[in-house]
Structure 1
Amino acid sequence: MPEGGNKNLRLRDVWRTCNKIRAAIFRVGLNLWDYYRPLDPNKNSLISESKFVSVLAGPLRGPIGLSDQEIGDLADYFRLQDGRILYSQFCEVIHDSVPDFGKNKPLTTGLEWEDPLHVNRLSTTEHRKLDIIITKIAVLINKRKLVLRPYFQDYEIIAKNAGTVTIAHFGRILHFLRIVLAADEFNLLVKRYAKDGCTVNYVAFVKTIDEAQNYMDQHGMLDLGGDLLNQFPGRVITAELPKLPRPEIGKVLPSKVFGKQSVFHPAIKENRDLMPLLEVIQRIQRHILENRIRIHEFFKEFDHLNVGRVTISQFRRGIDALQVSSLGRLYLAEAEINGIITLYKDPNNPDRVCWRTFEDDIDHVFTVKELDKLPNLRIESPPREITELCRRGQSDWQHEEKSLRELCEDSLQKVKHRINERGLILKQFFKEYDKHNHGHVSRTQMRQVLTTSGVLLSTQEVFALEQRYNDDIGFNYVYFIEELESLPVTEPLYFSMLEEKKIINAEKLPAEPTEEETNIVTILAKIKAKIVRERVKVTQFMRPFDTLNKQVISRADFIRGLDQIRCNLTCTEMATIMEVFRAPLRPQFIEYVRFGDAIEEAVATSCLERAPLLIPVQHIPSESCSRNFLNFEERHTLGQAMDKLSVSMNSNLQEIFTDYDKERIGTVTKEQLARALSTRNMLHLISNNEFNVIHKCFGVERGGRLETDYRAFLCALRLLQENKKTLPF
């Protein structure tokens, strides 16, 4: 008997292991022949035990999940007398015993769920509610002259469904048609017309609406506006359900048995108020934000099928792992945890909690789900209500009385002044009482610290500080010290730099053209002066743009070529030149050759071989500009100053200017002019105004600044000195 019992038990174990392998192969889609045939080169259906075990314990251990005991039982069962394993029999047992359901005929033909007009059963109360909903929808459809079927058929053309749509699309169609339903009404419609658990039979729904419309039309229950008439009392279905019989009325049990009665269920008596529960959710969001916790990692281990629901005990364990419990860093009372569980319970299974919904609500502190579908949505991360959420037990300071807030600010300034005056560090006094470094002390300890440090405050001032910094743990001295040591808010330097950049890059209105900018003679004189000084040929910069040698180029190319000469012309001067030298028959082109001849007259006279008696004259560039122009008073002042300097002029004054002029360009700065005159004791002969007039008169623009042409200045002094010698006195 024991031997037979052990044998039966062993056979049952082998059969159970084979069923386990069949289930795994059906789920994953494996073929054992592909693993064992390469190990049998002789094709005799026999392999060694080590090869047989290496397949089940190697690559197939993960997909199938066999233990060592089960693999050993299989090897013992299919082992021959010589110790080898008959793997072909094992593969046939696993693969050839799978039934082929495709050869069988369907047994469900003619059943009610294959009917295109199939609807589900409802209770009597639900059926009455459904009749009211159908009547409301039929009246609304008849009043708007709508046809429901085309809206559902558009989805069927794309999805290729046989008279069904998804629940989400069914709701979207009703919302698009502005058929407003409550949540329980929509759930009742889905319950009535649901098919296959995830779709809605819209054919039966549309047929029911049409039957209701036809019935009301046949019996004349609608007026001309499409509303129900009121002349059918007792026959017309109203929008409100009649009152059901209440057998409990008049039979209330005495209060001594159950105490005071309440309209709420005892299980949710503590969760009637949603405001504390909303505050709990916000505190969890801030805890998740500060510690950068990903909720999904703590609940996915409990949800192996990824359905988004776990048991209540598993939800509690996930909450504890988040350190959101009575033992974690974020303290939650048991009633608050029960409130969260009640809020996220599965409506279809009260023993389960929808952790995925809880995760989505908490993760709103980071971002919004499916943000790619809302490109214009602006989100604030973290939300303001999370950042401004006060600590637990701390009063909302912004809603306190104004007198209390002003008294607290005055107390802070008094404490800050006392600390700065005596050079104290309050943190070390608080640290003596805070042994565990919690950042909090008791109210009595806070008063002792203020007394020890010599900060004398009245009772009202201490009370104001306690109202500001007290929470459920005690006096938050870390927050108190941060505000004492806080620096005044200053505007970043970036803002001033940004404003300067905006002013620099702002669009400038074009200035009105001056007379010099529109005078072609003045403009050409400026260009000729540049050509004479630097000996540049104008046409060499513009000829590369004339590839066909038409002696004309476009306006853009003319501007590019003229910019290479660097004459510093304004836009108005450039436009004046192009207007004068434009081609007669081609307004968008410029005769650059004629322009070059006009400019090069300053260096050489053209066609001189035809006029041999003509004496060419060299163009002398003028150094005058708007910055060195003198009016009548300045010229009079200049004459007086030059007379004073010519009297005491030394012959070696030029050597001093030459020492300052290292590059031998003939100009010196204003400071060097003053230094040279001071060296020869000539600067004290003239006033500051006269010195400025001299610098302006002999000024030459050089490198963006006005320098003095000392050669012209010395020449003028020499002429004045010679003239005074020849004049009779």
Structure 2
Amino acid sequence: MHCKQIKLGDVWRTCNKIRAAIFRMGINLSEYFKPLDPNGNCLISESQFISVVHGQLGGTIGLSEQEVAELADYFRVPDGRIYYTQLCDVINDSVPNFSENSDITTGLEWNDPLHTNRLSISEERRLCLLITKIASLVNMKKMILRPYFQDYELVSKNNGTITIAHFARILAYLNILISPDDFNILVKKYLKDSYTLNYVAFIHAIDQVIEYLDKHGIMDLSGDFMAVFPGRIINAELPKLPRPEIGKISAARLFGKQNIFHPALEDPKKMEHILTTLSMIQEHVLRNRLRVHVFFRHFDLLNSGRITVDQFHRGLDALALSGKQRFFLSLPDVEAVINQYRDPCDPTRVCWRTFEDDIDHVFTVKELEKTPTLKVDPPPKEVRDLPKLGGKNWQLVNTEHRNLCEDAVYKVKQKIINRRILLKPVFKDFDKHNNGHVSRNQMRQALNSNGILLSDDELFALEERFNNDMGFNYFWFLREVEPKPSDEPLYVGFLKDMKRLNSEQPTKPASRQEKDIVQIMAKIKGKVVRERIRVLEFMRNFDRCNQQVISREDFRRGLLTCRFELTCNEMETLIDVFASPLRRECVDYRRFCDVVEEAFTQPCLEKTPLIIPVQHVPTTDCEKNFLNFEERLVLGVAMQKLSKKPDLQMNLSSILTDFDKTKCGTVTRTNFLKAITLRGMYNLISNNEFDVICKCFGFERGMHDEVDYRAFLKALDILYATDKYNPF
């Protein structure tokens, strides 16, 4: 047990605390001790001394248990009693008589402004961690604590002390959130006069911690701890109890090491026995889908993770008897499991939580969220390859018996292939419980009824291989003797097609148009004007720290979200143009958004109020509307023919408007042909000229191409007006 060395300064501070209290209240300390000493020996027992100082005068003086214990140790005589008259002399004789000038005395002359109560070693450790945590928070937020406490002191005139309630309100106002236990430790340390707290000492302790951290370079520029040595940073939260037994089962299985509870256990047979027993329990839990904690948690009322040996034995028996197929555990198996998971601190208890964690590994891995890239393939290989109870290890069987069994299996397989025999229905008739097992006689009847005749030695070899405690496992037998179908599954071809479609396309070299930033911005501005898209709303979500730049991957995601239908090469061109000059791995999305917004208005118009902004007019031209030189000549001739009469005479717009039910400005090619045919205009042009007109004024609507009749009529009106007013 650790003992704290008594310091004279600590005892002197305690005496000053008692002296200040009795001077304020007018208490004679010896009057409380004399009734307990009827013989006048100047000595009393330790229990009597504690009853007076901590019991009768505890509310007045306000000493902690540690201070009372140190005071008793200091004034104790060799026989164990307390020399109380010496304490009274130290307290009363050093008090001067201020009766003549009592108006200028307050009783606080003996108080140390930095006086604090003493705590035990464990409590002092928790207090140091808590003060360090609060100091780091105060330093990180750049807070000054003293004004918050002095505001209350200016009103109450408490000379460096405040009430407990006000101390709690100040901490809550400063967002210094601590648990009730930590707050009780603070009160116990800085309590003064039983109802106030010495905030001066509290602030002084925080300032000392901050000064120490800054001096030794533990704080960074932001005021937080530097993570130079991970795992060594002071934290106010106490760590959990160590769990040295976790993971030792799998480590022992893989590397042959012994477990944490039995370092002296060096017998490989015993180690193999416990590993086999645990694998059998895992296989039983997996087959019946059991929850291990259901059988043990009602014994652990305090949720400590440890129960007695008898309780663990009862829970293990209940686990083995649960499920459709019961599992038998012998007494040596149970004792081996109990010895494996016995509590190293208390041999009468067993760590059932550790046992549950090891058994649940058959389903998944604990804390899988911490390692998202880990691939889990339950159950483990040891459980999958675990032999059935009652069966023999086929690798250890005599070679002669193994060869005889292989010959028998080959003979049965050849007869099944040649005669087209189905053995599974015959075995299913004998298997009433549908557990995949039949008896030995039923196995012989199934083979004899289908004309498969084997010798007694061959039948015994088959039984030796496929038998276990439940009978003859005909599932394993049929898996060996029945021919495997060679038909390819239907999903194989579909899977290949899906992989081919979802595979990454090879990157094509960038064309001239994909490198032209003017055409790319015109494409984006046209999309923005037509669909009224605000690009900044899609890009701003990726800039969480408001740095005005985002990464290249986030910029690509934002462009895909806007649905600009850009190719990979066009995105790379935009990234290269709008890359941040100071951070080449990021993109200046603000500059990109400002350039796109120029399609609607011009920036900084407040500086030039006379400028009238011109909105961007998007074009509907695309690669499908592109006409070469010959096609443009054909189009010019056809349009000259059709523009001889104005629309007021031909009234072509009314027919096209009737065909446009949705009033979107486009009609199908068939309706366009009907309209110009009704007005007699189709006879003026050839089929080739009609195709060129449809290609020139084509517009992609949904999944098919239509004709923009409004642009067609506008072009006819322009040609008619130009030809009418042409003097030549």
Fold shared per TM-score above 0.5: no
Higher relative contact order (CA 8 A, sep 6+): 2
TM-score (norm 2): 0.38
TM-score (norm 1): 0.38
